[in-house]
Amino acid sequence: MILIVESGATKTDWRVVSPYREPFMVKTAGMNLASVSDVAVESAAHEAVEALSSAGIAGMVDEIHFYAAGLIPTGREEPVPSQAAGLDKVLRTVFTDAVIEYTSDTMAAARSVCGHKPGVAAILGTGSNSCLFDGERIVKNVRSGGFILGDEGGATRLGKLFMSDFLKGLVPEPVSGEFERDFEVDYMTVVRNVYKGDAPSGYLGSFAPWILESYSSSEYVRKLVESNFRDFFERALLQYDVASHPVGVVGGFGYACREILKSVAAPYGIRFGSIIPAPMEGLVDYHLGRI
């Protein structure tokens, strides 16, 4: 049996799959290995391991594929990347003989939307990332930079752009007044959540659904949303051979904005393949297809 783990900033999906039986699923807290503490990572892993053990499934797993946000490839062959050392110890308490692969959420996106074929894969969720996939390996990756230095096209960056304008009095009415009515956004609350909060990227990204509600009615919001996507295309996607490869997109934000994405991308000659909210179903197909 195969255990597939897909971990993002907000949640982690654990799914045990086999061609011969129904899948078993567990959900735990998100584990961005670049920003979440070792204690939080190990706690989430313990929770999943206990659930799998209680269901009598853990002993049947002989292959694990762990995809995590913030798991940055080093360019060296490492059985266990340093970022996953504590996590590996927890998993090894139960999966003593399993073969474990640790790799990035970018690889999860690539395998999910490209399968075993070459293509360009993009993540458009809370954050963003992209890569060129040759059907087996990621051969090029334009670094995301995270929500401070990059994440163009993602929900957090949209929230960041909007909040910056709001604090400077640049968001026009009626959007500004409606935003102030619906959220606690006095200056000190915003600063505290962004600079001292436990999850600043999640905080900023949480405003994206509300902002999108005004896409059709507000020229300001429309320009902001489209500019965010254009930055992603110009600063990331156009560094790949998009003329030869369709772009597959994974992420709830990209999925929610799929029609906007297609419209903004058209002048760049960018063609989209699959646009899906989460990678798990594609990962199941990818790994079971290898059996």
Read off the pTM: 0.84
Instruction: Answer whether residue 186 is part of any domain.
Output: yes
The answer to whether 109 and 123 are in contact (CB under 8 A) is yes
State the residue for tokens 């197909």. Answer: 285
Instruction: Answer whether residue 46 is part of any domain.
Output: yes
Instruction: Answer whether residue 131 is part of any domain.
Output: no
Q: What is the CATH number for 171?
A: 1.10.720.160
φ, ψ for residue 31, nearest 5 deg: -140, 80
pLDDT values of the chain reduced to their tens digit, one per residue, 291 residues: 899 999 876 788 999 998 888 888 888 887 777 666 778 788 888 888 888 888 888 778 888 999 987 776 555 556 777 777 778 888 888 888 888 888 888 999 999 999 889 999 999 988 899 999 998 899 999 988 877 888 899 999 999 999 999 999 999 999 999 999 999 889 999 999 999 887 788 899 999 999 999 999 999 999 999 999 999 999 999 999 998 888 999 999 999 999 999 999 999 999 998 999 999 999 999 998 765
Q: How many angstroms separate the CA atoms of 130 and 134, rounded? A: 13
Domain residues for the domain of 16 are: 2-113+279-288
Number of domains in the chain: 2
Instruction: Answer whether residue 235 is part of any domain.
Output: no
Positive or negative: CA dihedral 228, 106, 120, 255? negative
